[in-house]
Amino acid sequence: MKQFLSFVKKEFHHILRDRRTMFILLGMPIVQIIIFGFALTNEVKNAKIAVLDPSKDAATVSLTGELNASKYFDVEENVVSYDQIESAFKKGRIKLAVVYPQHFGEDLEHLNQSAVQLIADASDPNVASTLVSYASAIISDYQKRVTDERKLPYTIKTEMRMLYNPQLKGAYNFVPGVMAMVLLLVCTMMTAITIVKEKELGTMEVMLVSPIQPLKIVIAKAIPYLILSIVNISSILLLSVFVLEVPINGSIPLLVAESILFTLVSLALGLLISSGAESQQTAMFISLVGMFLPTIMFSGFMFPIENMPLPLRIISNIVPAKWYYSIVKSVMIKGVGLGAVWKETLILAGMVVFFISLAVKKFKIRLE
């Protein structure tokens, strides 16, 4: 045990005396969670719109004012023809155009109906659909207020409740995914160079004559990174709550424990890469490219896994971030307990054992 602790202490000294390593371990997660947390969102805000209003009555002015007052739209210009609308779209000045009919207010008052045309730039279909949905919702709210005193027969009112995320904030979906991506990339990348670095520095021979078992050497190399990763987990959770305003509705100890388990998976995966790589550059490349793309594509926070073909859905099951993303969403957003995420927890625990055993086997082969 004394030899094992001495080996752990040596690894700590290697990390603490390298300022670049310390910055990557402690500074990069904070920078990444802030950048990705604000940049990765499916919300569309302050979209420029044009208004074609030949009616110019109280109803159109009021409705246009509500569109402009929302956080989603800014009235960029008032146009007088469809040609001006087309020109604004081609020049990229607007994303949406609102067109009123000639007698909007009169039709609404006397005929109890009117129409509003929404023209969107569908070169980006996702943004176009989102903007049309936002505008339709604002128009629908305005219509309800106008017709509130006119009780029409045989009307069906739909009441909606958005559970867990009433304000439909994009951060509630992206923060768990960003947490998975940051922890996986940082932990895997740093441990991916630990063993291969010994070979490049010529200190592998020291391990050959060392009385410590290969399993203990691999574990000793992971312990310092695990302790520093716990600090990262704390900072990520604090930033998520106080900066990105995503509450923790479930058990904090359970969320921290699941995050530590996912960190162990990442560290074990990094050690496996380090045991098989021939150089630090190769290990870094595999950990960055080999982990980043699968995490983005198959974790579920960018692209719904349910919409993928069956072969890709099967492949997604071997991506650790998928299971951690599901756990964080369930615990952090929905507030569930261990009883709802025990299957995902067992899968991550199995991955730790599998990756560690492979890393030890490869490390023994390298020592030989």
User: pLDDT by residue (tens digit) across 71-106?
Assistant: 889 998 898 888 999 888 888 889 999 999 888 877
pLDDT (0 to 100) of residue 354: 92
Q: By C-alpha distance, which of 270, 273, 275, 272 is closest to 366? A: 275
Do 270 and 232 share a domain, yes or no?
yes
pLDDT (0 to 100) of residue 175: 83
Do 108 and 222 share a domain, yes or no?
no
* Confidence tier at 209 by pLDDT (50, 70, 90): low
pLDDT (0 to 100) of residue 18: 74
DSSP 233-299: HHHHHHHHHHTS-----S-HHHHHHHHHHHHHHHHHHHHHHHHH-SSHHHHHHHHHHHHHHHHHHHS
Do 15 and 143 share a domain, yes or no?
no
Do 65 and 214 share a domain, yes or no?
no
pLDDT (0 to 100) of residue 307: 82
Gap between the Cα atoms of 163 and 166, Å rounded: 6
Do 181 and 123 share a domain, yes or no?
no
Q: What is the pTM of this model?
A: 0.77
Q: What is the mean pLDDT of residues 320-328?
A: 92
Residue 48 sits at the vertex; the CA angle it makes with 144 and 167, to the nearest 5 degrees, is: 50
116-175 pLDDT tens trace: 889 998 888 878 888 898 898 888 888 877 766 555 555 545 566 777 887 777 778 788
More confident site: 192 or 323: 323
CATH number (domain holding residue 141): 3.40.1710.10
More confident site: 240 or 39: 240
Domain boundary among 150, 179, 198: 150
Residue 204 lies in a domain: yes
Cα 158 vs. chain centroid, distance in angstroms? 31
Residue 248 lies in a domain: yes
Do 220 and 254 share a domain, yes or no?
yes
Element (H, E) at 49: strand 47-52
For 225, the domain range is 2-40+169-367
pLDDT (0 to 100) of residue 254: 94
pLDDT (0 to 100) of residue 348: 94
pLDDT (0 to 100) of residue 151: 57
Residue 157 lies in a domain: no
Residue 160 lies in a domain: no
Do 133 and 182 share a domain, yes or no?
no
Do 215 and 353 share a domain, yes or no?
yes
More confident site: 211 or 234: 234
Domain boundary among 150, 177, 208: 150
Domain boundary among 93, 117, 150: 150
Do 128 and 201 share a domain, yes or no?
no
Residue 156 lies in a domain: no
Residue 214 lies in a domain: yes
pLDDT (0 to 100) of residue 51: 92
Residue 158 lies in a domain: no
What's the number of domains the chain is made of?
Answer: 2
Report in angstroms the alpha-carbon separations of 320 from 189, 191, 208.
Answer: 15, 16, 32
Do 174 and 319 share a domain, yes or no?
yes
Gap between the Cα atoms of 366 and 229, Å rounded: 27
Whole-number mean pLDDT of the chain? 82
pLDDT (0 to 100) of residue 327: 93
pLDDT (0 to 100) of residue 292: 80
Do 199 and 292 share a domain, yes or no?
yes
Do 33 and 85 share a domain, yes or no?
no
Residue 163 lies in a domain: no
